[in-house]
Amino acid sequence: MKIEDMISANRADCNGCAACANICPKNAITMTRDAESFSYPKINPELCIKCGRCDATCPALNYVKNNPTDFPPTFTATYPDDKILRHSSSGGVFTALSEIILREGGVVFGAAFDKNWRVFHTAARNFDELEKLRGSKYVQSQIGDVYRQVRDALKSTQVLFSGTPCQCAGLKHFLGGDHENLLTVGILCHGTPSPAVWESYIDEWTRRNDIAHINFRSKRNGWGSGIEINFFNRGFYFLKLNVDLYGKLFLYGLFERPSCHACKFKYPNGQSDLTLGDAWGVTRYAPEMYDSRGTSIIFVHTPKGKKFFERMNLRAKQVRFFDAANGNIPFVTPLTADTRRADFFADFTAAADKFAVMEKYFAQDDAELRKEIFLQNRRTFKRSYRAIVASVRQKFTENILVVSPFADDAKAFLIDHFSQTIPNGTLYFLRLNDKDELICRENFSTLDLPIKSEVAALNDFAKKYNIVQVVANDPLNLNAPAVAEWLKVCGLPVQVLAQV
């Protein structure tokens, strides 16, 4: 398929990453807004030489689904500097990464506001310029020729590129693969809203007063508290995102780009070295890491990402992948579109007073609709997570022993999902009981095995149950070093999956 065919047949496949426009040697492609204000490539036939580079570069046309064999190491983290932490969207990790790059003479690329409060990608080459890239921007940024700028910068220095997962994929496809000097940082993306909706919202505020600063994630009342607009007359507007006009409709999924609701670059198909977001729900799985000033979640996808993570001076703790993903559903699954989306854009595009249309849909607060969207997102998350687990487990065809903390909330999930991925075998769960005995549960039956058994007895146990692989959920997290010792003397292949 060609880009022209894709756009004419199913625009929902195009994420607007602009890789095609950047790769075109004749500048025959421009990104042009449609009626909903989303950018799509438009090819000038008079300039096009039909070289096919745009088709070969498009991440949607050349999409390859990943089949992970492990879960990415996952961490909660906070930056130790109080000022940086208070003025970051979450835990200050983007700033920590950027400081490493800038100190070594590199360049950081990310999203910034222009003087009219539109969002575009640009470069920061020093700490003063970095300030404009910090903070969340809940609107699709315009890439322009930034991929070309990244390519040129990589010839002589390190580059950090931060963007949505589809933008990171667009850059990688534009470059023809990874680059030694490139660190890609994906943001945990809810979806990219229509620029026209944002412009109608912010222009209404500009009409009332001159804007000095916008913060989508103000911490005036603590982490995640709301959107804040500061005016030159020193007045300000502040409201929680879920009750603000723009924020509420954004969270509903009312005006996101069509491709966002069928996003191809959710985990495990993103192409960044790291993914950063908020550690929502951290009080449930790592309460000691909660900070009212903000806590980040970090997913480490590559050895390069791991190297940079280890270089940051962060207060961090490794956590289970499932816990982090469960608090950040958009990381693994596209969110459901509001059922009113088509009606909204029909009204919005036809109206002279577009702000009034936003107010109309804002007033239609339907509790049942909100509940259905929430439930649909949860159902989609479960299906996506089941597929990820199946991919991780598909290489195992015989019986597996899973060493796990075996918490009640995790037990049912593990039994439900993991057992379905071993069609020719049985999944056994092993844990310590109160008497320091290992308990193997098979179909809810219990087998006690003394932790200090002889090696021969342990091997007999493995043979009896035909255990050919041990999957350990970070045994030291069990506060039972003996379990780790047992894994060693058992003589079986051991794979430590800290995020099971």
Q: What tens digit of pLDDT does each residue of 292-313 get?
A: 999 999 999 999 999 999 999 8
CATH number of the domain encompassing residue 50:
3.30.70.20
CA 387 from chain center: how many Å?
A: 17
Residues 47 and 173 reside in one and the same domain: no
Judged by average pLDDT, the poorest of 48-62, 270-284, 311-325, 471-485 is: 471-485
Band (pLDDT 50/70/90 cuts) for residue 414 is very low
pLDDT of the residue at 451? 37
Tell me the average pLDDT across 208-236. 90
Measured torsion, CA atoms of residues 330, 296, 121, 167, in degrees rounded to the nearest 10: -40
Question: How many angstroms separate the CA atoms of 103 and 215, rounded?
Answer: 26
Residues 455 and 325 reside in one and the same domain: no
Q: Does pLDDT of 6 surpass 70?
A: no
Torsion angles phi and psi, residue 17, rounded to 5: -70, -20
CATH number of the domain encompassing residue 454:
3.40.50.20
Residues 388 and 431 reside in one and the same domain: no
Residues 268 and 357 reside in one and the same domain: yes
Structural domain boundaries enclosing 305: 65-392
Picking from 113, 90, 310, 399, the residue whose alpha carbon sits closest to that of residue 229 is 113
Q: Does pLDDT of 241 surpass 70?
A: yes
Residues 330 and 382 reside in one and the same domain: yes
Residues 484 and 363 reside in one and the same domain: no
Residues 461 and 425 reside in one and the same domain: yes
Residue with token string 């930034």: 146
Measured torsion, CA atoms of residues 444, 447, 452, 457, in degrees rounded to the nearest 10: -130
Q: What tens digit of pLDDT does each residue of 127-147 get?
A: 999 999 999 999 989 999 999
CB under 8 Å to 203, separation ≥6 — which residues?
355
* Contact status, residue 140 vs residue 16, Cβ threshold 8 Å: yes
Which residue(s) pair with 400 in the sheet? 427, 469
What pTM did the predictor assign? 0.78
Residues 138 and 245 reside in one and the same domain: yes
CB under 8 Å to 54, separation ≥6 — which residues?
3, 20, 21, 23, 24, 29, 41, 43
Residue 424: strand, helix, or coil: coil
Residues 50 and 102 reside in one and the same domain: no
State the total domains in the chain: 3
Q: What tens digit of pLDDT does each residue of 61-77 get?
A: 998 888 877 789 999 99
Q: Would you give the DSSP letter of residue 287?
A: G
Residues 11 and 98 reside in one and the same domain: no
* Contact status, residue 134 vs residue 214, Cβ threshold 8 Å: no
Residues 310 and 293 reside in one and the same domain: yes
Picking from 229, 209, 228, the residue whose alpha carbon sits closest to that of residue 218 is 228
Judged by average pLDDT, the poorest of 6-10, 100-104, 155-159, 190-194 is: 6-10
